[in-house]
Structure 1
Amino acid sequence: MTQDAIERAWDSVVGTARRTVTDGLVVGTSGNVSARVGELVLVTPSGVPYDRLTPGDVVAVDLDGTQVRGRLAPTSELPMHLEIYRRTTARAVVHTHAVHATAVSTLVTELPLIHYMAAALGGPVRVAPYALYGTGELAAHMLGALDGRTGCLLRNHGTVTYGDSLDQAYDRTSQLEWMCRVWLTASSVPGLTPSLLSAAELDEAAEKLRGYGRPR
Structure 2
Amino acid sequence: MAEPRRDTHQDHTAPEAWGRAVREAEARAWDALVATARRTVADGLVVGTSGNVSTRVGDTVLVTPSGVPYDRLTPDDVTGVDLEGRQVLGSLLPTSELPMHLAVYRTTDALAVVHTHAVHATAVSTLVPELPAVHYMAGALGGAVRVAPYATYGTDALAAHMLRALEGRSACLLQNHGTLTHGAGLDQAYDRTAQLEWMCRLWLTAASVPGLTPSLLTPDQLAEAGERLRGYGQRG
- Scaled by the length of structure 1, the TM-score of the pair is 0.98
Asked if 1:159 corresponds to 2:204, the answer is no
Q: Is the 8 A contact 2:173 2:179 kept in 1?
A: yes
**SS of residue in 2 equivalent to 1:171:** helix
Match of 2:29 in 1: 9
Asked if 1:68 corresponds to 2:81, the answer is no
Match of 2:58 in 1: 38
In the aligned structure 2, how far is the partner of 1:146 from the partner of 1:155?
Answer: 13
Asked if 1:173 corresponds to 2:213, the answer is no
Match of 1:24 in 2: 44
Match of 1:212 in 2: 232
Q: Decide which of 210, 214, 218 is 1:190's aligned counterpart.
A: 210
Q: Percent identity?
A: 74
Q: Decide which of 95, 113, 120 is 2:133's aligned counterpart.
A: 113
The AA in structure 2 aligned to 1:139 is A
Asked if 1:98 corresponds to 2:118, the answer is yes
Moved over 4 A (4+): none
The AA in structure 2 aligned to 1:204 is E
**Partner deviation per Cα, 1:108-138 (whole Å, 9 max, x = no partner):** 0010000000010001100000000000000
In the aligned structure 2, how far is the partner of 1:98 from the partner of 1:215?
Answer: 32
Q: Is the 8 A contact 2:140 2:225 kept in 1?
A: no
Q: Decide which of 125, 134, 137 is 2:154's aligned counterpart.
A: 134
**In the TM superposition, what is the alpha-carbon distance from 1:210 to its structure 2 partner?**
2.1
In the aligned structure 1, how far is the partner of 2:170 from the partner of 2:161?
Answer: 14
**SS of residue in 1 equivalent to 2:115:** strand
Match of 2:166 in 1: 146
In the aligned structure 2, how far is the partner of 1:23 from the partner of 1:145?
Answer: 25
In the aligned structure 1, how far is the partner of 2:187 from the partner of 2:69?
Answer: 21
In the aligned structure 1, how far is the partner of 2:221 from the partner of 2:81?
Answer: 42
In the aligned structure 2, how far is the partner of 1:214 from the partner of 1:203?
Answer: 21
In the aligned structure 2, how far is the partner of 1:84 from the partner of 1:200?
Answer: 27
**SS of residue in 1 equivalent to 2:96:** coil
Moved more, 196-205 or 40-49: 196-205
**SS of residue in 1 equivalent to 2:210:** coil
In the aligned structure 1, how far is the partner of 2:222 from the partner of 2:81?
Answer: 38
In the aligned structure 1, how far is the partner of 2:66 from the partner of 2:34?
Answer: 13
**In the TM superposition, what is the alpha-carbon distance from 1:215 to its structure 2 partner?**
3.9
**Partner deviation per Cα, 1:167-197 (whole Å, 9 max, x = no partner):** 0000000000000000000000011100111
In the aligned structure 1, how far is the partner of 2:233 from the partner of 2:172?
Answer: 24
Match of 1:47 in 2: 67
In the aligned structure 2, how far is the partner of 1:161 from the partner of 1:200?
Answer: 23
Q: Which has the larger radius of gyration?
A: 2
Asked if 1:79 corresponds to 2:99, the answer is yes
Gaps of 5+ in 2: 5-21
**SS of residue in 1 equivalent to 2:129:** coil
The total of aligned residue pairs comes to: 216
The AA in structure 1 aligned to 2:192 is R
In the aligned structure 2, how far is the partner of 1:52 from the partner of 1:75?
Answer: 15
1:61–1:100: structure 2 CA closer, same or farther, 3 Å change rule? same
